[in-house]
Amino acid sequence: MRRRTLSALAVGASSLALLATLAPAAGATGGHGGQGDHRPAYKRVGYFTQWGIYGRDFQVKDLDTSGTAAKLTHINYAFGNVSPEGKCFTGNVPGEADAWADYARPVGAEDSVDGVADTGEQALAGNFNQLRELKAKHPGLKVMISLGGWSWSTNFSDAALTPASRKALVSSCLDLYLKGDLPVDGARGGAGAAAGLFDGIDIDWEWPGSAGDTDTKYRPEDKKNFTALVREFRTQIDAYGKKQRKHYELSAFVPTAPAKIDAGFEVAKIMRDFDFVNLQGYDFHVSGEARTAQQSALFARNDFSVDQTVREWERRGAPARKLVVGMPFYGQGWTGVQGGGDGLGQPASGPAPATWANGYEDYKALKKLAASGTYKVHRDLRNGHAWLFDGTTLWTYDDPWVLATKSAYVRAKGLGGAMFWSLDGDTPDGELITAVDRGLGGR
C-alpha cells in the first residue's frame, strides 16, 4: 500500500506539471489580481451551512481558527428560502427557516470571532453577526446569500412565472438580505439590522425545467422564466448598488447533466448577467444507485465528469473565466459491495452507514478511515479521482491529491476558480482548502 501511494504521488506530480504548462500567464484570467494582499484572482467559494452549528458544532469562528477564511474569496450562506407566496423570508419554522441560527442565537465568547459574547440588546447575533465579524477581520472576503438548495427550491417556478411575481421576489430578497431588514425577534432584527453583511446573491434553484426534490415544482417555461428572473435580479441589485456605490455580485449553482442544462438554462443569455456560476462538480453518482461509481472524477469516458461539465457549459456559450468548479468536501458511500477487486462499478446493497446520513460522509471522517488500516486507498491517476474500499464498503471522495489535480486543471483551462460543498467537511486545520489554495497559486 505504501509503495502504491508513493507511485501515485509521483505520477500525480507529473500530471500537475503537464497541466501547469497549459496554465495562462500571470495577468490573464487566472493570474494575480490587484488586491492589496496579493491573493490570486481565482475565486474560492465555500458554502457555510446554517445547520452545521448544531450536530457538527461547526461555527463561523472555525473558519478563522482553521485558516480557511484567509484562503476564501466568497462564503455562500446556505440557505435562504422562498415562500409559497413567492417572497424571500425567514422565521422560526421547522424545516423551512431558522432565524434563531441566522441572527437571534446569542453566541458566547468561546465561539465568537472577536472573542466577545453577544449581549441581549444587540439587534444582530447568531451566524449573521459572526459573519460580519469575520469580514471585519478579513477585509475583501465577500458573503453571499444562497437561495434555495435541493430542499428549498420548492417555490421558485411559481415565483418566476410572471413579470410581477419576479419583481416581487427579487425586491423581497433585496429588502431581507442586502438592505438587511430582518423580522423583529425580541431584541433582534429590525430595519437595517443586517445591512452591509451580504455582498451579493447566489441563486441555487435545483432545477428550472426539470425534476429536483420530490416537492419542487417545475414546468417547461422555467427556462425562459429563469433568464427573466436573472435579468430582474441583475437590474434591481445594480440599481441598489448604484445608490450604495457598490457592485453586488450575482451567481448561481448550475447542473452537470446536459439534459438539465438544456431544459432550464439559456446559457449565453444568463451568463451576461452573472458574475460567475458554480458548476456541479460532484454527485455524478450517488449512494442510492445500485452500483458503486465515481462521484466527482476530473475526467471520465462516457460518463459525467468535471471536464465534461466545463465543456458542456463552454459549448453553450459560457466564458471560461465565469466558470467556477465545484469540489466536494465529502464522499458518497455504498455497503454490501459484491464482486471483489477494487470495488468500483460493482453491485451494492445500499448506502453505507455514516455519521449524519447514510451514504454521505464528511472528508474529515473519511480521512480517519483511510488511516485506520482497514480500508485501502485507490486512485485513478489518469482520470483524477480516489476511493476507499475494505472489501464490503466503498467511499468515493476527493482528497488533497485529487483537489491539487483539479486546481491545476482550473489554471490550465483559465477557469474562474473553485467552489466547495461544504466547509464543515474539512479537517480542523483546513487540509482540503489548503490543497486548493496552493494549487491555485496561493500563499
pLDDT tens figures, 221-247: 999 999 999 999 999 999 999 999 999
Neighbours of 391 (CB within 10 A): 12
Of 15-24, 291-300, 373-382, give the lowest mean pLDDT range.
Answer: 15-24
- Find the angle CA(339)-CA(343)-CA(346) to the nearest 5 degrees: 55
For 24-51, what is the mean pLDDT? 61
Answer whether residue 23 shows pLDDT above 70: no
Q: Does 360 map to a domain?
A: no
The two beta strands, 376-380 and 360-362, are unpaired
H/E stretch holding 152: none
Q: Are 17 and 46 in contact (CB under 8 A)?
A: no
Q: What is the pLDDT of residues 112-137, one digit of tens each?
A: 999 999 999 999 999 999 999 999 99
Answer whether residue 406 shows pLDDT above 50: yes
Q: What is the pLDDT of residues 88-110, one digit of tens each?
A: 999 999 999 999 999 999 999 99
Q: How confident is the model at residue 9 (pLDDT cuts 50, 70, 90)?
A: very low
CATH number of residue 282's parent domain: 3.20.20.80
Cα 77 to Cα 98: distance, rounded to the nearest angstrom: 13
Q: Does 350 map to a domain?
A: no
What one-letter code names the amino acid at 175?
A: D
The DSSP call for residue 343 is: -
Answer whether residue 7 shows pLDDT above 80: no
Does residue 157 sit in helix, strand or coil?
helix
Of 29-33, 149-153, 329-333, 421-425, give the lowest mean pLDDT range.
Answer: 29-33
Q: Which of 396, 397, 283, 389 is nearest to 336 (CA)?
A: 389
Domain that holds residue 146: 2-329+403-439
- Report the pLDDT value the prediction gives residue 30, as an integer from 0 to 100: 37
Q: Does 75 map to a domain?
A: yes
How is 116-133 classified by DSSP, letter by letter?
A: -PPPSS-S--HHHHHHHH
- Report the pLDDT value the prediction gives residue 14, as an integer from 0 to 100: 42
CA distances from 339 to 223, 336, 373, 396 (A): 43, 10, 21, 17
- Report the pLDDT value the prediction gives residue 41, as an integer from 0 to 100: 87
- Report the pLDDT value the prediction gives residue 148, as an integer from 0 to 100: 98
What one-letter code names the amino acid at 429?
A: D
For 381-405, what is the mean pLDDT? 97
Q: Does 357 map to a domain?
A: no
H/E stretch holding 368: helix 363-371
Cα 169 to Cα 98: distance, rounded to the nearest angstrom: 19
- Report the pLDDT value the prediction gives residue 6, as an integer from 0 to 100: 29
- Report the pLDDT value the prediction gives residue 16, as an integer from 0 to 100: 45
- Report the pLDDT value the prediction gives residue 181, as an integer from 0 to 100: 98
Q: Are 209 and 219 in contact (CB under 8 A)?
A: yes
Q: What is the pLDDT of residues 245-284, one digit of tens each?
A: 999 999 999 999 999 999 999 999 999 999 999 999 999 9
CB neighbour burial string for 163-172, b if at least 16 within 10 angstroms, e if fewer:
eebbebbbeb
Q: What is the pLDDT of residues 80-93, one digit of tens each?
A: 999 999 999 999 99
Q: Does 392 map to a domain?
A: no
Q: How many residues does the chain have?
A: 443
Annotated catalytic residue within 133, 206, 232, 361: 206
Residue 361 annotated to the active site: no
Q: Does 395 map to a domain?
A: no
Cα 134 to Cα 142: distance, rounded to the nearest angstrom: 10
Does residue 247 sit in helix, strand or coil?
coil
Domain count, the chain: 1
Q: Are 424 and 362 in contact (CB under 8 A)?
A: yes
Q: Are 156 and 86 in contact (CB under 8 A)?
A: no
Q: What is the pLDDT of residues 138-168, one digit of tens each?
A: 999 999 999 999 999 999 999 999 999 999 9
Q: Does 382 map to a domain?
A: no
Longest dimension (CA), the chain: 64
Q: Does 128 map to a domain?
A: yes
Q: How confident is the model at residue 40 (pLDDT cuts 50, 70, 90)?
A: very low
What one-letter code names the amino acid at 184?
A: V
For 163-181, what is the mean pLDDT? 98
